Amino acid sequence: MLVHGISLFNYRNYREQQLNFHPSLNIIIGDNAQGKTNILESIYYAVTGKSHRTNYDNEMIRWGESFLRVVLAGERYSGKIKIEIIVRTDGKKILKINNKPKKKLSELIGAINTVLFSPEDMMMVKGSPSVRRRFLDMEISQTSPSYCHNLVSYNKALSQRNNLLKAVREGEENDQLIDIWDTQLVNYGVPIIKKRSEVIGKIKPIAREIHRKITDGKEEINVSYISSVNFKNMDDGVKEEEFFLKKLKENRKMEIIKGVTSLGPHRDDMGLKIGSTDIKSFGSQGQQRTGALSLKLSEIEFIKMETGESPVLLLDDVMSELDEKRRKFLLEVVREKVQTFITSTGVEDIVEKVNGPGRIFEVKEGKTSLLQEG
């Protein structure tokens, strides 16, 4: 998959910017707060309909303006793709794919896939379970419209149920009403758990292989899915739905007191171990970084497996976070026919290590110019 170019209008600190990208490597350099991440964000935004930095589309509209417009020209084996997104300050959002208006953002699934790697991803191993769930959800949503749908519906049901739990606690509502939301949680939640387990089954050997290479065969990482519902404890012949429902019933009294739903996909996590060590809590910083890198790189392979094409790789400020060895490993991947975008404050540490053609852009106060073409 390729991003040929992007045109930004009132996007963050860009008033009007047209960029044509190189099919293999694009390096974006500039001082802090000039607009490097904004470019990667705009690519990510065009292909997913969401920012990786905020849930509020208004934040991307240039201050003082009433709308933004992003147009991305891309390509995959099946042909050229043009994606256009317009967002207005009144909340209206318009999506067009190949000039045809689309009602749902999920229509973008199957257009262009990206893997974004930002400094926050370095916290993926060490951070809270929500970071790892987000990783899984982003990865799976990109290739599965049904997963995306289930996730949105599940989250809606969850927030309704939590509101109701609180209302029951305050004596404002009858607790029997909770049954309806239990059914919804189960109907949307079980496929989410199953899909996440399946995907982890697929990325597990890939991440293990990558991790082994980075550590020269010294370490073996074991990735697993840890579900709060834990179907492993199910008796034979019991369906997942029945089991989940029963667990919700058992926990209801306690949940009413707390006013939150205590189990389901929103409470699940990934297990990350080296030998018997849980590296989330007990890994060295090196192990945690290598783990994060292995997981992220396994995402590239996963998308290749699912779609038959390499995704576009967006590396935001991660080079400076990596030591020589990990950086080298990452750049090897870049050379393997994955179109890559790298942002950095300095060009020295990247350019000399990336042999081969590419384009270097310089960003200054929301204006980007082509610095070098090689």
Ligand X SMILES: Nc1ncnc2c1ncn2[C@@H]1O[C@H](COP(=O)(O)OP(=O)(O)O)[C@@H](O)[C@H]1O
Chain residues binding ligand X by CB under 6 A are 12-13, 30, 32-38, 59-63
34 binds, among Mg ion, ligand X, none (CB under 5 to 8 A by kind): ligand X
Q: Rounded to whole angstroms, how far apart are CA atoms 339 and 358?
A: 10
* Position 310 contacts Mg ion (CB under 5 A): no
Amino acid residing at 203: I
Residue 350 φ then ψ, to 5°: -100, -55
Nearer to ligand X, 62 or 327 (CB): 62
35 binds, among Mg ion, ligand X, none (CB under 5 to 8 A by kind): ligand X
Q: Rounded to whole angstroms, how far apart are CA atoms 162 and 170?
A: 13
* Distance of closest approach, residue 61 Cβ to ligand X, in angstroms: 6
Residues 6+ positions from 180 with CB-CB distance below 8 Å: none
Q: Which of 10, 17, 34, 37 binds Mg ion (CB under 5 A)?
A: 37
DSSP assignment, residue 185?
H
**Given the rule CB under 5 A, which of 11-19, 36-44, 275-283, 345-353 is the region that contacts Mg ion?**
36-44
Residues 6+ positions from 202 with CB-CB distance below 8 Å: 302, 305
Nearer to Mg ion, 81 or 116 (CB): 116
12 binds, among Mg ion, ligand X, none (CB under 5 to 8 A by kind): ligand X
Nearer to ligand X, 53 or 252 (CB): 53
Binding residue count for Mg ion, defined by CB under 5 A: 2
Are 295 and 223 in contact, with CB atoms under 8 Å apart?
yes
Bridge partners, residue 101, by sequence: 96
Question: What is the secondary structure of 278-304 as a DSSP string?
Answer: EHHHH--HHHHHHHHHHHHHHHHHHHH
* Position 118 contacts Mg ion (CB under 5 A): no
* Distance of closest approach, residue 65 Cβ to ligand X, in angstroms: 8
Nearer to Mg ion, 36 or 327 (CB): 36
Counting other chains too, the contacts that 333-338 makes at CB distance below 8 Å and 24 or more residues apart are: 333/297, 333/300, 334/25, 335/24, 336/310, 337/24, 337/310, 338/300, 338/310, 338/311, 338/312, 338/313
Q: Rounded to whole angstroms, how far apart are CA atoms 115 and 328?
A: 18
Nearer to ligand X, 64 or 171 (CB): 64
* Distance of closest approach, residue 228 Cβ to ligand X, in angstroms: 35
* Position 344 contacts Mg ion (CB under 5 A): no
Q: Rounded to whole angstroms, how far apart are CA atoms 111 and 125?
A: 29
Residue whose tokens read 């834990």: 230
115 binds, among ligand X, Mg ion, none (CB under 5 to 8 A by kind): none
* Distance of closest approach, residue 50 Cβ to Mg ion, in angstroms: 18
30 binds, among Mg ion, ligand X, none (CB under 5 to 8 A by kind): ligand X
Nearer to Mg ion, 36 or 247 (CB): 36
Measured from each CB, the residue nearest to Mg ion is 37
* Distance of closest approach, residue 317 Cβ to ligand X, in angstroms: 7
How buried is residue 286: exposed, middle or buried, by Cβ count under 10 Å (0-12/13-18/19+)? middle
* Distance of closest approach, residue 351 Cβ to Mg ion, in angstroms: 19
**Which residues bind to Mg ion, rule: CB under 5 A?**
36-37
